Amino acid sequence: MSDQHSSALAESLAARFGETLTLSTVRNETTAELAAADLIAVATALRDEPEFRFSELVDLCGIDYLGHGQTEWDTESISSTGFSRGVEGQAMGRFNWAERPRGNNEPRRFAAVIHLLSIAHNRRLRLRVFCDDDTLPVVPSLTLIWPGVNWFEREAFDLYGIIFDGHPDLRRILTDYGFVGHPFRKDFPLIGNVEVRYDPEQKRVIYEPVSIEPRILVPRTIRNDADLMQAEAEAADHWREN
Amino acid sequence: MQEIRNYTMNFGPQHPAAHGVLRLIMEMDGETIVRADPHIGLLHRGTEKLAESKPFNQSIGYMDRLDYVSMMCNEHAYVKAIETLLGIEAPERAQYIRTMFDEITRILNHLMWVGSNALDLGAMAVFLYAFREREELMDCYEAVSGARMHATYYRPGGVYRDLPSQMPQYRESPWHKGNDLKRINSWREGSMLDYLEAFTNDFPSKVDEYEELLTGNRIWKQRTVGIGVISPELAQQWGMTGAMLRGSGVEWDLRKKQPYAKYAEVDFDIPVGVNGDCYDRYLVRVEEMRQSNRIIQQCVKWLKANPGPVMVKNFKVAPPTRFEMKEDMEAMIHHFKLFTEGYCVPAGETYCAVEAPKGEFGCYLVSDGANKPFRVHLRAPGFAHLSSMDTIVRGHMLADVVAMIGTYDLVFGEVDR
């Protein structure tokens, strides 16, 4: 997959689909963002048209963009008492269910990300479909185009609660029978809600509210000063030995 | 006359042929499968969510525990994704080491597969023999990382340390002494590369032994030829990769088509099947072991001739040496920052795939510029393969389901994540 390959793909996608796709190519990886309503038509064309021939759907996963780009540790401005201590914040390791963050400043939270592979042309393409409604995220199902997407869609439904319209059998797949909630959402606590143990008195396995405290060891930090290239050059320059 | 109706049967989750914790609900018409519904998730640990709450480096160890039969290949995908976002590249020697260990891992995986699949189908001996060579290769894992399985050896920027110059030897004990001790230590006189050279010279004859036991075996052929036939079109529709796809005659191997590490520099062939049945997939995997052996030989030769660094010299991602820390304040600070906070990965997203022994193992990594990943998604080949179970086994006999589970090469660590 060379540079020309990827840009050629982006060009032919732009020529074929025009305004439907928002394209970007970074590091030879082409990403196309599109509206949920266009997904079926675009996917069918991508699979069937000789120019694209994306015969395999390699991967589909959900993403929850809640809290994207938020940090817990202020590294740029100093107050009179120094830098912040990095102990507050809303990372999912820090709260239990009752204290989960509810505010949502992202315009759209949920997206399904699809990775396609064309064996004939040796190309990959990433599609991203944002769900319009945060409370009821819906994306059309691709099961009629690539049957292999079936379990991937079930997984995204299970973990993120994204509903795939037209899926023949949208059940939970990875979580326990009778599980409540969608555990990979950013407002779902890392410690979970229930824990399970065998109760010798009742002689059965019982569910109880979690007893562990949420905690986090390393605060989430964003640093823009971490210039990797400069660090590499400094390390290569043996000024200490000279 | 009594009316005979379909009945439902439960298989697993604790069943020796289920390769872990697979639960299958099957609707049967006599001995014939009408519908198979795999229930997975019994080993779900939420690896992807755990990774979101930790600095990047601390999740490498989780990758070993996904597909716990091909540990280093999983690490490779994750580490490669981080390196892509960071824009760094491992030194050449580290890339050769990775190529070599990927292939060692492939042999480890295929040995486990051929042994357990044969065991499922009634051939006991192969399993015992396969563990003989697995043991020899796991000693290499132990020699470089200290752990026999969960190595955490690949790091962003290279590998944890260089190959050992002395292969550990057996010590005298009531069980190993005299000539016996001399024999088992005969490969271990020199470095790890000498040991691997001795291994690779010996290994093809061992593969011949497995083939002797299975390839022409009448019972083996009766159980696998014409069972679970997958057409190339079907394989692509169901997102199959690796030996499952190649068994159906599609010449697709990421090591050739989208080379990573040093696969472009080494010489090897891709075996493909013709009929797409369980027997062809068996032949493909056996030939892959021979090809992996070839790659290891080439890597050993290169590594012997070319010493050099195995980690990038960049203190933002790689720790400084103890020696440097003793006399350099800056190295000390870098070490402290690296192990308390980790490094920040520039915002962006990438999908990095490697040809793991079971198929395409991919890592989709989204970073928002922080010291922890925003989202990690691991694309496990076994997950896609198992989802096709219902389509493939319909109309087959119950015993063929076991052959099919075997040929999928399932490991539930990666299916359930």
Count of all residues that appear for chain A in the document = 242
pLDDT band at A19 (very low <50, low <70, confident <90, very high): confident
Q: State the pLDDT at residue B331.
A: 85
Q: State the pLDDT at residue A200.
A: 94
Q: How far apart are alpha carbons B268 and B283 in whole angstroms?
A: 16
pTM of structure: 0.90
Burial of residue B160 (CB within 10 Å: 0-12, 13-18, 19+) is middle
Q: State the pLDDT at residue A239.
A: 47
SS3 A56: strand
- Set of chain B residues whose Cβ sits within 8 Å of the Cβ of A31: 349
Choose the closest CB to B375 out of A63, A91, A149. A63
How far, in Å, are B108, B160, B196, B383 from residue B137 at the CA level?
Answer: 7, 18, 8, 27
Residue stretches of chain B with pLDDT short of 70: 1-2, 4
CA B129 to chain centre: 20
Q: Which residues of B347-385 are buried (b: 16+ CB within 10 A; e: fewer)?
A: bbbbbbbbbbbbbbbbbbbbbbbbbbbbbbbbbbbbbbb
Q: Do B377 and A223 touch (CB under 8 A)?
A: no
Q: Quick check: A126 and A115 in contact, CB under 8 A?
A: yes
- Is A231 near chain B, with CB under 8 Å? yes
pLDDT band at A127 (very low <50, low <70, confident <90, very high): very high
At A70, list the tokens.
């938020």
Q: How far apart are alpha carbons A26 and A9 in whole angstroms?
A: 13
Is A138 a residue whose pLDDT tops 70?
yes
* Between A149 and A75, residue with greater pLDDT: A149
Q: State the pLDDT at residue A106.
A: 58
CA distance A155 to chain B (A): 10
Asked, as a colleague might, if the bond just before A219 is cis with ω within 30 of 0, I would say no
CA A41 to chain centre: 23
In chain B, how long is the greatest CA-to-CA distance? 92
pLDDT band at A213 (very low <50, low <70, confident <90, very high): confident
pLDDT band at A242 (very low <50, low <70, confident <90, very high): very low
Q: State the pLDDT at residue A229.
A: 64
CA distance A56 to chain B (A): 5
- Set of chain A residues whose Cβ sits within 8 Å of the Cβ of B88: 228, 232
- Set of chain A residues whose Cβ sits within 8 Å of the Cβ of B391: 147
- Set of chain A residues whose Cβ sits within 8 Å of the Cβ of B240: 148
pLDDT band at A1 (very low <50, low <70, confident <90, very high): very low
Is A90 a residue whose pLDDT tops 90?
no
- Set of chain B residues whose Cβ sits within 8 Å of the Cβ of A55: 236-237
- Is A16 near chain B, with CB under 8 Å? no
pLDDT band at A105 (very low <50, low <70, confident <90, very high): low
For the segment A115-127, the average pLDDT, to the nearest whole number, is 91
Tell me the average pLDDT of chain A: 82
Is A152 a residue whose pLDDT tops 90?
yes
Taking CA–CA distances from B81, the nearest residue in chain A reads A27
**In this predicted complex, what is the ipTM?**
0.88
Is A113 a residue whose pLDDT tops 90?
yes
